Amino acid sequence: MNRARRVREKWFAAALLVFRLFLGGVFLYSGATKIIDPGGFALSVYHYQLLPDVLVNPMAIILPWVEVVCGAALILRWWVGGASLVVTGLLLVFLTALVITLVRGLDISCGCFSATGEGKISWWYLLRDFSLFAMGVLILLFHDRDTGGQPAQA
The binding site for another protein (CB under 8 A) comprises: 5, 8-9, 12, 35-40, 42-43, 46, 53-54, 56-58, 60-62, 64-66, 68-70, 73, 79, 81-83, 85-86, 89, 140-145, 154
Give 12 or 22: the residue with its C-beta nearer to another protein.
Answer: 12
- Nearest distance in Å: CB 114, another protein: 15
- Nearest distance in Å: CB 40, another protein: 7
Give 58 or 119: the residue with its C-beta nearer to another protein.
Answer: 58
Name the nearest CA neighbour of 44 among 124, 131, 125, 136: 125
Give 42 or 91: the residue with its C-beta nearer to another protein.
Answer: 42
For residue 44, how many C-alpha atoms fall within 13 Å in the half-sphere facing its CB? Answer: 28
Residues whose CB is less than 8 angstroms from the CB of residue 71 and which lie 6 or more positions away in sequence, other chains included: 23, 24, 25, 26, 27, 28, 29, 30, 31, 83, 87
Secondary structure (3-state) at 74 = helix
Give 86 or 91: the residue with its C-beta nearer to another protein.
Answer: 86
- Nearest distance in Å: CB 25, another protein: 17
Name the nearest CA neighbour of 132 among 76, 74, 79: 74
Instruction: Tell the burial category of 146 from Cβ atoms under 10 Å away from its Cβ (0-12, 13-18, 19+).
Output: buried
Q: What are phi and psi of 120, to 5 degrees?
A: -70, 150
- Nearest distance in Å: CB 83, another protein: 6
Give 99 or 117: the residue with its C-beta nearer to another protein.
Answer: 117
- Nearest distance in Å: CB 69, another protein: 4
